[in-house]
Structure 1
């Protein structure tokens, strides 16, 4: 009995929380949230459910941990122009663009992430996800010379734009897939553009005018253009002194 207990304990120790979360991310990437079950997870890790529950209490905790792991990789110190001492190692505008693109790319690489980010930020703002993102953006905001009483508003505005635009991009991709197995982004945008061009010219003159731009736009370029618009406003409101 003692030997069996020691073996069980060694298996539990070998099955770290990090391994469980890594496997969960892989399952989420492959099958989405519905594909992440403890049964499938135990099969993938070749263990029993008890060993997993030793590290993770339930699916909600596992989803939160998976989201946090992906976000941590996206806004890691050093990867986003922050030194080990916590200070920016590049121009703050470039640092903000870097954080923004890393989060944008993360939502593209992990289609489930956008929905989980919304869930974590609304249901669990005291968890680790919101502070990670806020810190990744906020250190660069501070370096921009924004007064301290404007740090939260400025960083929050950037965070809401970045996550909102990234989430909409994922939703558009999913909508394009819904058109059929042979459809792609171009087909989806072409359908949207054609619908806009058919709108009443008196009621929708602007939307008709930009219909062709919508069809041919580049998602990443549009995303960064939005970041730059915000940065232009921030710098205009809080010009840095030499």
Structure 2
């Protein structure tokens, strides 16, 4: 399996300003804009201003915002793919799948904008497809049918991306502004839940203390473990 391959820059039409920055610098700037304010903040003009260059220089590499977004996504996922490919394989494909899933989760959790675009660019040159392939290859080491493999990888990706996007959401304004901390904010909900009639809400009453002090990463790992335990059971591994 080859490593991440950035799309080669297309030759611009005659008259475009020659690039004054490298492709890596352009993509790093695009990712920084996305990290700071999401997809809506990524424009060719904003990127040019950030890099201290003209918009024509950006056009040396991309022809539109959509292409810029695709390349930025591919750039980030390429780093995750490189890290995954560097991890040594073990005798247990499910253990390897767990390691890959956690690596991918860590790449997405601080970038909630990325979760919604994970499988956006799935052509043969895209790193999202290569990541999907790397996860799927672990299921080839298990006694599963093609449908079971497809469902298994879909379930793992769903747990990773869903939890990462949920955790990466911007905190409520009062937490963001430092008026209350996370524990106090969750505690308010917990107190409301504790006041509920336990006969009507037996489950909520049972788990309210767990909710009040839960760790988001631990919650993700538990969900991943449940998914992998089901896969192990299905594969008889």
Q: Distance in 1 between matches of 2:177 and 2:34?
A: 21
| TM-score (normalizing by structure 2) | 0.79
How far off its partner does 1:73 sit? 1.4
| TM-score (normalizing by structure 1) | 0.78
CA contact 2:183–2:212 (8 Å) conserved in 1: yes
Instruction: Please point out which of 68, 71, 79 is paired with 1:65.
Output: 71
For structure 2, the 5+ residue unaligned runs are 1-14
Task: Say whether 1:203 aligns with 2:200.
Answer: yes
Per the alignment, residue 189 of structure 2 pairs with 192
Q: Distance in 1 between matches of 2:96 and 2:86?
A: 6
Per the alignment, residue 224 of structure 1 pairs with 221
Q: How many residues align?
A: 221
Instruction: Please point out which of 175, 181, 201 is paired with 2:177.
Output: 181
Aligned to 1:146, the other structure's residue is in SS state coil
Task: Say whether 1:237 aligns with 2:234.
Answer: yes
Aligned to 1:107, the other structure's residue is in SS state helix
Aligned to 1:193, the other structure's residue is in SS state helix
Q: Distance in 1 between matches of 2:61 and 2:101?
A: 32
How far off its partner does 1:200 sit? 3.1
Q: Distance in 2 between matches of 1:146 and 1:201?
A: 43
Instruction: Please point out which of 129, 154, 158 is paired with 1:160.
Output: 158
Task: Say whether 1:42 aligns with 2:30.
Answer: no
CA contact 2:34–2:41 (8 Å) conserved in 1: yes
CA contact 1:81–1:90 (8 Å) conserved in 2: no
CA contact 2:94–2:232 (8 Å) conserved in 1: no
How far off its partner does 1:129 sit? 5.4
Per the alignment, residue 151 of structure 1 pairs with 149
